[in-house]
Chain A
């Protein structure tokens, strides 16, 4: 009797538990969402704060770090951690510039296709561009009222490192969360905050 009562209470309380259901977008929802994403292609610069949460299956709490990102269309990206450590990376001119607490190095990625893919993915994710359907199975989803895109790698090379990438959008169709799920099901969440669009970004941000 007690067990039945417990199940009844669980079912009753489930809708208040904050477990938003995920479902496929309808055709009209998808068309409307894709149209709204096209408007984001007008974005020339983005600056934002981010908090990174690394979830390991055996840990109670995620490992947390935070920093700032700057994106300047078409090919400049600055990604810097400010807490709990200082580490800055700038992607530009087919090179990665790194400043690790004063220790600087440059990695020339030349015509690396891998680098191009990362750059395109970050840029299109942040600016709402089209997703490469040759590389990913793209699923358009709804989580509660929020829009969500799930990218599942198709190619064996990418599958070794990433199981899926989930992008969560705010009501104004801005990316507010990126989740990278690894083959082990451990995952990293990047929560984007204080996003500013099309403001002037000082060129010195991209100089290391």
Chain B
């Protein structure tokens, strides 16, 4: 009996820990034509300033998020509070990051890791070769898959990125509005593990050429 319980426990543990996220209503994954996704932050001549509203762990922080494209998939992202204090300033590339500054209270490994993950996901251009299959194809928008990220397209633009970790959704980034140049003007970020949301609105006047 004890042996049976031990085996059962290990089998349960094995299946739970090896479980993967399943996209809602998906019937499987198929190969797709190569597709470039998330082409929003490619122009190295532009710096974008977003009005940022953060709600993190029951605290509100308002400020500005600055996004500058340094090179192909290299971005410098800084968050500045309304009073002008730099909260963090980090260069992000697909393989790593360089932390230029983080305010003392935010300079913790796990915080920096999540900040980098959020803004890498938001700014990085990706190339997909797989897409989600749905039983009722007419009903759903195209959803491309790269690693653990699901890119939902609407009118040929990425409207939403859903990132999964294990069996659960970890992060959602929704591009709500765009300008004529297809630059996202309203973005909503929601962290699914921690109580963290970020609302961004493009400050057109300060987003310089």
Per a CB cutoff under 8 Å, which of B49, B62, B64, B80 touches A100? B62
- Select A56's contact among B78, B82, B205, beta carbons within 8 Å: B78
* Max chain A C-beta neighbours (<10 A), residue from B68, B83, B104, B205: B83
In the complex with contacts A87-B62, A186-B89, A54-B51 CB distance below 8 A: no
CB distance from B195 to the nearest CB of A (A): 17
* A184 and B101 in contact, given A54-B64, A100-B62 (Cβ under 8 angstroms): yes
Which of B80, B100, B104 is the one whose CB lies under 8 Å from A63? B80
Segment 89-117 of B: residues with Cβ below 8 Å from A: 89, 100-101, 103-104
Return the chain A residue nearest B49 by Cβ: A63
Residues A184 and B66 in contact, CB atoms below 8 Å apart = no
Residues of B within 8 A of A160 (CB): 104
Residues on B with C-beta less than 8 A from A85 are 51, 62
- Asked if residues B208 and A56 are in contact (CB atoms below 8 Å), the reply is no
Known: A84-B51, A84-B203. A182 touches B62 (CB 8 A): no
Q: A84 to chain B: which residues have CB within 8 Å?
A: 51, 203, 205-206
A58-B206 in contact (CB<8A):
no
Indicate the size class of the contact surface on chain A. Answer: 20 to 34
| A52 surroundings in chain B (CB, below 8 A) | 84
A87 and B82 within 8 A (CB): yes
**Secondary structure call for the B interface:** strand
Assess whether B125 is interfacial by the CB under 8 Å rule: no
The interface residues of chain A lying within 8 Å CB-to-CB of B103 are: 161
Residues of chain A in range 184-201 having any CB-CB distance to chain B below 8 Å: 184, 186, 188
Any chain B CB within 8 A of the CB of A180? yes
| Chain A residues near B100 (CB-CB < 8 A) | 57, 184
- Kindly identify which residue among A56, A60, A100 contacts B86, using a CB–CB cutoff of 8 Å: A56
Nearest residue (CB) in B for A188 is: B84
Q: Which residue of A has the minimal Cβ distance to B80?
A: A54
Across the interface, do A56 and B60 meet the contact criterion of CB distance under 8 Å? no
Q: How far is the CB of A70 from chain B (nearest CB, A)?
A: 17
Decide if B179 is an interface residue (CB 8 Å cutoff): no
* B136 at interface, CB cutoff 8 A: no
Residues in chain A near residue B76, CB distance under 8 A: 58
For A180, list chain B residues within 8 Å (CB): 84-85
Interface residue from B86, B205, B206, B208 paired with A182 (Cβ < 8 Å) = B86
- How many Å lie between the Cα of A160 and that of B89 in the bound state? 15
In the complex the two chains form, is A184's CB within 8 Å of B86's CB?
A: yes
Cβ of B47 under 8 Å from chain A: yes
Residue of chain A at shortest CB distance from B100 = A184
Once the chains bind, are A188 and B208 in contact (CB under 8 Å)? no
Chain B, Cβ-Cβ closest to A58: B76
Q: Please name all residues of chain A whose beta carbon is closer than 8 Å to the beta carbon of B83 when the two chains form the complex.
A: 188
A97 within 8 A of B: no
With A54-B80, A65-B82, A180-B84 known to touch, is A59 a contact of B101 (CB < 8 Å)?
no
A64 within 8 A of B: yes
Question: What string of 1s and 0s marks CB contacts (under 8 Å) between B16-51 and chain A?
Answer: 000000000000000000000000000000010101
Asked whether A63 and B101 contact (CB < 8 A) given A87-B82, A161-B85, the answer is no
Q: Which chain A residues lie closer than 8 Å to B82 at the CB level?
A: 65, 81, 87
Contact B62 A58 (CB under 8 A): no
Q: Chain B 47-70, CB within 8 Å of chain A: the 1/0 string?
A: 101010000000010101010100
Interface pairs (15), CB distance under 8 Å: A54-B84, A56-B66, A56-B78, A56-B89, A58-B68, A58-B76, A58-B89, A63-B206, A65-B82, A84-B205, A84-B206, A85-B62, A100-B62, A161-B104, A183-B101
